[in-house]
Chain A
Amino acid sequence: MSAPLLDASNLDAFYGPTQVLYGVDLEVVAGGITTLLGANGAGKTTTLRSLTGMLDTKGEVRFDGRSIAGRATEDIVRLGIAHVPQGRGTFVRETVEENLQIGAMSRRDRAAISADVERVYGYFPRLKERHRQQAGTLSGGEQQMLAVGRALMLRPKLMLLDEPSFGLAPLLVQELFEILRALNRDEGVSMLIVEQNAALALDLADHAYLLETGRLVMSGPAGEIRNNETIRRSYLGY
Chain B
Amino acid sequence: MELFLHQVLAGLATGGIYACMALAVVMIYQAIDSLNFAQGEMAMFSTFIAWQLLQWGLPYWAAFFLTIGISFVAGVVIERVVFKPVQNESVLSHVVIFIALFAIINSAAGFIWDFTIKSFPSPFGTRELFGQRLISAHDAGMIGITILMLVLLYLFFRYTRVGLAMRAAAANPESARLAGIRVGWMVALGWGMAAAVGAIAGMLIAPVVFLEPNMMLSILLYGFAGAVVGGLTSPLGAVIGGFSMGVIENLAGTFIPYVGRELKLTIALTLIVAVLTVKPSGLFGRTVETRV
Q: Write the residues of chain A forming the contact surface with B, with a CB cutoff of 8 angstroms.
A: 52, 54, 72-74, 77-78, 82-83, 85, 87, 89-94, 98, 101-103, 105-106, 150, 154
Contacts and interface: CB of A to CB of B under 8 A. Distances in A.
Interface string B175-199: 1111111110000000000000000
A89 B175 contact: yes
A78 B171 contact: no
A116 to B, nearest CB: 13
Nearest to B233: A93
Given A52-B178, A150-B179, A102 B168 contact: yes
Contacts of A82: 178
B174 A85 contact: yes
A14 to B, nearest CB: 16
B181 A102 contact: yes
A98 B174 contact: no
A87 B291 contact: yes
Nearest to B291: A87
Contacts of B175: 85, 89-91
B180 A78 contact: yes
Contact of A93 (B171, B177, B181): B171
Given A91-B171, A94-B171, A102-B168, A74 B161 contact: no
Interface string B226-240: 000000000000000
B177 A73 contact: yes
A102 B165 contact: yes
Interface in B146-182: 161, 164-165, 167-168, 171-172, 174-182
A92 B179 contact: no
A74 B171 contact: no
A16 B5 CA distance: 61
Given A74-B182, A77-B178, A89-B178, A105 B171 contact: no
B178 A83 contact: yes
Interface residues of B, number: 18
A106 B179 contact: yes
Contacts of A72: 177
Contacts of A83: 178
A12 B172 CA distance: 27
A77 B171 contact: no
Nearest to A85: B178
B291 A102 contact: no
A103 B179 contact: yes
B179 A102 contact: yes
B291 A74 contact: no
A154 B174 CA distance: 16
Contacts of A92: 171
Contacts of A74: 177, 180-183
Contacts of B179: 77, 102-103, 105-106, 150, 154
A73 to B, nearest CB: 4
A16 to B, nearest CB: 12
B177 to A, nearest CB: 4
The 7 closest A-B pairs by CB, nearest first: A89-B175, A106-B180, A73-B177, A77-B180, A102-B168, A78-B180, A83-B178
Given A54-B174, A85-B174, A106 B164 contact: no
B40 to A, nearest CB: 28
A91 B164 CA distance: 11
Contacts of B165: 102, 105
Contacts of B164: 94, 98, 101-102, 105
B177 A105 contact: no
Given A52-B178, A85-B178, A89-B174, A105 B183 contact: no
A105 B183 CA distance: 12
A82 B174 CA distance: 13
Contacts of B172: 89-91
Contacts of B161: 101, 105
Contacts of A98: 164
A23 B175 CA distance: 27
A89 B161 CA distance: 19
Contacts of B182: 74
A91 B172 CA distance: 7
B177 A77 contact: yes
A181 B175 CA distance: 24
A73 B171 contact: no
B285 to A, nearest CB: 13
B185 to A, nearest CB: 10
